[in-house]
Amino acid sequence: MNTGCIFCKIANGQIPVHAIYENEEFFVFPDRNAQAPVHILVIPKKHFETILDVDDPNLLGRGLSAAIEGARRTNLDESGFRIVINTRDDGGQTVYHLHFHVLGGRFMNWPPG
Ligand code: 5GP
Ligand code: ZN
């Protein structure tokens, strides 16, 4: 728990949000500023500032599995989706608690902006 971190507060229930999926390690919930018809976030309950700070590479695999479960539960598995991890300044990261975006419900343009 990193005091002052908004995603730590969401992960520990201090800020209530709708849980799309949760397991002991990850929490999946809607982004409050959706950039697609479906836009959900996957956060580890443990605080890591960025993907560069993760000490256990297997956690990233488990996070992807949670993202896939979130995609299934929001019915994106047939139509498809995109998983994004913005990292530091040039990646456009604004919240420094590791998170995966899962976006879908429309065609996702390539290349991204
Ligand atoms: P980043 O820009 O760091 O990759 O993504 C941060 C995301 O978190 C943004 O898409 C933003 O809309 C979302 N976000 C920031 N604060 C909150 C919040 O308090 N609740 C929810 N549900 N999403 C948030
Ligand atoms: Zn945090």
CA gap 59, 36 in Å, rounded: 26
Work out the burial of residue 26: count CB atoms within 10 Å of its CB; fewer than 13 is exposed, 13-18 middle, 19 or more buried.
buried
Give the pLDDT confidence of 38-86 residue by residue, as tens digits. Answer: 999 999 999 999 999 999 999 999 999 999 999 999 999 999 999 999 9
Atom of ligand 1 nearest to the CA of 96: 3
pLDDT at 1 over 90: no
3-state secondary structure of 40: strand
Q: If you average pLDDT over every residue of the chain, what do you get?
A: 97
Longest dimension (CA), the chain: 39
Determine the residue of 15, 41, 87 to mutate for testing ligand 1's pocket, defined as the one with the most ligand atoms within 8 A of the Cβ atom: 41
3-state secondary structure of 51: helix
The fraction of the chain above a pLDDT of 70, given in percent, is 100
Mean pLDDT of 15-39: 98
Does the model's pTM come out above 0.75?
A: yes
Q: Is 94 in the pocket of ligand 1 (CB under 6 A)?
A: yes
Mean pLDDT of 34-39: 98
Residue 39 near residue 102, CB atoms below 8 Å: yes
Q: Is 33 in the pocket of ligand 1 (CB under 6 A)?
A: yes
